[in-house]
């Protein structure tokens, strides 16, 4: 099992603050990295799929970067809103056989 | 499209009882997966299937069996439930191997074993 780590485990920010979290993964034989957003009592929803070193993806106020050589990805949220409160998961894609998920970062945005 | 659906949504079992969780997808996906989610542990893969009639073990397969008799359905069975199997179970599906395909998740089944 190739461990995927995420930090911090949880954080609280004020509405309007920008924030970021980290996903770390083994860099050898890298294929793809997925980011998911998981709201309480719902199922995880895909945010980004990233494959190339240096990739940067953006969806509204949320963006992500990828460094496959050193094995990390950052997720950024600009101007956090209460509706951004969720757990953000990353998953290392082992060439379609299965994903290895990190434990997630739980974000709470306080109004 | 309904996407990925799971039945039941909630279930309480006594130790030693058996049950089957049903996952269905209407997206014609080849791959299907069963995960369990426990506090602080993220999603852990139990079993997965790369196509109709095939199954494979994931990270935590012990105590579970699966079957994929039809492409659209993936069943997860607990033959003799134990309290350690109290968890939230998520099913997912994806189109194919390779291509960095997204996995689409069902709404989850909350299982409590007393």
Instruction: Tokens 């739980």: give the residue.
Output: A106
Q: Do B43 and A89 touch (CB under 8 A)?
A: yes
Which one is predicted more confidently, A94 or B8? B8
Tokens of A54: 């240096």
pLDDT of residue B22 exceeding 70: yes
Q: Please report how many Cα atoms fall inside a 13 Å half-sphere around the Cα of residue B95, on the Cβ side.
A: 5
- Give the residue ranges of DSSP H helices in chain B: none
Of the candidates B27, B66, B29, which has an alpha carbon nearest to the alpha carbon of residue B45? B66
Q: Which residues of A touch B100 (CB under 8 A)?
A: 31-32, 34, 49, 51, 93, 96
Segment A24-30 shows an average pLDDT of 90
What is residue B97's predicted lDDT score, i.e. its pLDDT? 61
Q: Do A101 and B33 touch (CB under 8 A)?
A: no
Q: Which residues of B touch A51 (CB under 8 A)?
A: 100
What is residue A2's predicted lDDT score, i.e. its pLDDT? 64
Name the range with the highest mean pLDDT among A8-17, A92-101, B32-41. Answer: A8-17
Residues in contact with A41: Cβ distance below 8 Å, sequence separation at least 6, in sequence order = none
What is residue A33's predicted lDDT score, i.e. its pLDDT? 94
List Cβ<8 Å contacts ≥24 apart for B37-44.
B37/B87, B37/B88, B37/B89, B37/B90, B37/B108, B38/B87, B38/B88, B40/A9, B40/A103, B41/A103, B42/A89, B42/A101, B42/A102, B42/A103, B42/A104, B43/A44, B43/A89, B43/A91, B43/A99, B43/A101, B43/B90, B44/A101
Of the candidates B80, B89, B81, which has an alpha carbon nearest to the alpha carbon of residue B46? B89
pLDDT of residue A96 exceeding 80: no
Q: Do A102 and B42 touch (CB under 8 A)?
A: yes
What is residue A28's predicted lDDT score, i.e. its pLDDT? 87
Q: Which residues of A touch B32 (CB under 8 A)?
A: none
Nearest C-alpha of chain B: how many angstroms from A16? 27
- How far CA A7 is from CA of A75, A89, A101, B69, B94, in Å, comes to 11, 11, 13, 40, 27
Q: How far apart are CA A70 and CA B51, in angstroms?
A: 34
* A66 CB within 8 Å of a chain B CB: no
Name the CA radius of gyration of chain A, rounded.
13
DSSP labels, A11-70: EEEETT--EEEEEE---TT--EEEEEEE-TTS--EEEEEE-STT-EEEETTEEEEEETTT
* A1, A45, A96 member nearest B96 (Cβ): A96
Of the candidates A42, A104, A90, A100, which has an alpha carbon nearest to the alpha carbon of residue B108? A42
Segment A41-70 shows an average pLDDT of 94
Q: Mean pLDDT score of chain A, rounded to an integer?
A: 93
Nearest C-alpha of chain B: how many angstroms from A76? 20
CA closest to A88 among chain B residues? B42
């Amino acid at each position: 099992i190739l461990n995927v780590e995420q930090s911090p485990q949880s954080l609280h920010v004020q509405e309007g603050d920008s924030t970021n979290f980290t996903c770390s993964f083994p860099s050898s034989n890298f294929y793809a990295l997925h980011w998911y957003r998981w709201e309480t009592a719902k199922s995880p929803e895909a945010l980004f799929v990233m494959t190339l070193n240096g990739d940067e993806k953006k969806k509204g106020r949320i963006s992500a970067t990828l460094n496959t050589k050193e094995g990390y990805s950052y997720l950024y949220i600009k101007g956090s809103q209460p509706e951004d409160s969720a757990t953000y998961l990353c998953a290392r894609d082992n060439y379609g056989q299965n994903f290895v998920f990190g434990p997630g970062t739980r974000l709470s945005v306080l109004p | 499209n309904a996407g990925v659906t799971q039945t039941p949504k909630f279930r309480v079992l006594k130790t030693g009882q058996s049950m089957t969780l049903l996952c269905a997808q209407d997206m014609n996906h080849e791959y299907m997966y069963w995960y369990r989610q426990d506090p602080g542990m993220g999603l852990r893969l139990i079993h997965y299937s790369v196509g109709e009639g095939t199954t494979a073990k994931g990270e935590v397969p012990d105590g579970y069996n699966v079957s994929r008799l039809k492409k659209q359905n993936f069943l997860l069975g607990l033959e003799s439930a134990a309290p350690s199997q109290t968890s939230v179970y998520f099913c997912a599906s994806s189109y194919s191997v390779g291509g960095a395909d997204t996995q689409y998740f069902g709404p989850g089944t909350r299982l409590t074993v007393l």
